[in-house]
Amino acid sequence: MQRTLSIIKPDAVMRNITGKVNAMIEDSGLRIVAQKRIRLTAAQAEEFYGEHKDKAFFGGLVEYMTSAPIVVQVLEGKDAIAHYRKIMGATNPAVADEGTIRKTFALSITQNTVHGSDSEESAKREVSFFFNHIEVVG
Ligand code: CMP
């Protein structure tokens, strides 16, 4: 069993479709073992996305991620990191596979509905960024 960090982003929260995203997650076989709705501060978003701080899209990304609440969650399952990245689809919804979360719901490469950890190392960092050990119940 493996765990990964998922974020349901402002575009999905604002459109009131977090339940539809969760249904796709659960239908795929992943379990939501922790979940909460929060509003990121700019400092928190800058820290979370620190690896992108030199990218041209960084300012817009921070602005977007702080524009409304998000739902952060821990997903558990076999090969959860790769499994979730597969059902999320490509970062850019224009090239995401049919049936993926981003192809179904994302509005743009920035407003792309969900985030998922991209490696075991980032999953560990990202889960502990948002959750402590008593909040994650497998
Ligand atoms: P995410 O998986 O959360 O990781 C970084 C985020 O930056 C990405 O999803 C997008 O929301 C956002 N982003 C905006 N523009 C780009 C871009 N050109 N390339 C990659 N990510 C981008």
User: Mean pLDDT over residues 86-112, rounded?
Assistant: 98
User: Mean pLDDT over residues 70-85, rounded?
Assistant: 98
| Predicted local confidence at residue 1, as pLDDT | 95
Q: Atom 13, ligand 1: which residue's CA is nearest?
A: 110
Burial label, 56 (beta-carbon count in 10 A; 0-12, 13-18, 19+): exposed
CATH architecture of 2-135: 2-Layer Sandwich (3.30)
| Predicted local confidence at residue 110, as pLDDT | 97
Is 72 in contact with 55 (CB distance < 8 Å)?
Answer: no
User: Mean pLDDT over residues 26-30, rounded?
Assistant: 98
Cα 112 to averaged position of ligand 1 atoms, centre (Å): 8
Beta carbon of 115 within 6 Å of any ligand 1 atom: yes
Strand partners, 50: none
Instruction: Choose which residue among 54, 57, 100 to substitute to test ligand 1 binding: the one with the highest number of ligand atoms within 8 A of its C-beta.
Output: 57
- Within 10 angstroms of residue 96's Cβ, the number of other Cβ atoms is 18
- 115 is an active site residue: yes
For residue 116, which atom of ligand 1 is closest to its CA?
Answer: 2
Beta carbon of 100 within 6 Å of any ligand 1 atom: no
**Using 50, 70 and 90 to split pLDDT, how confident is the model at 28?**
very high
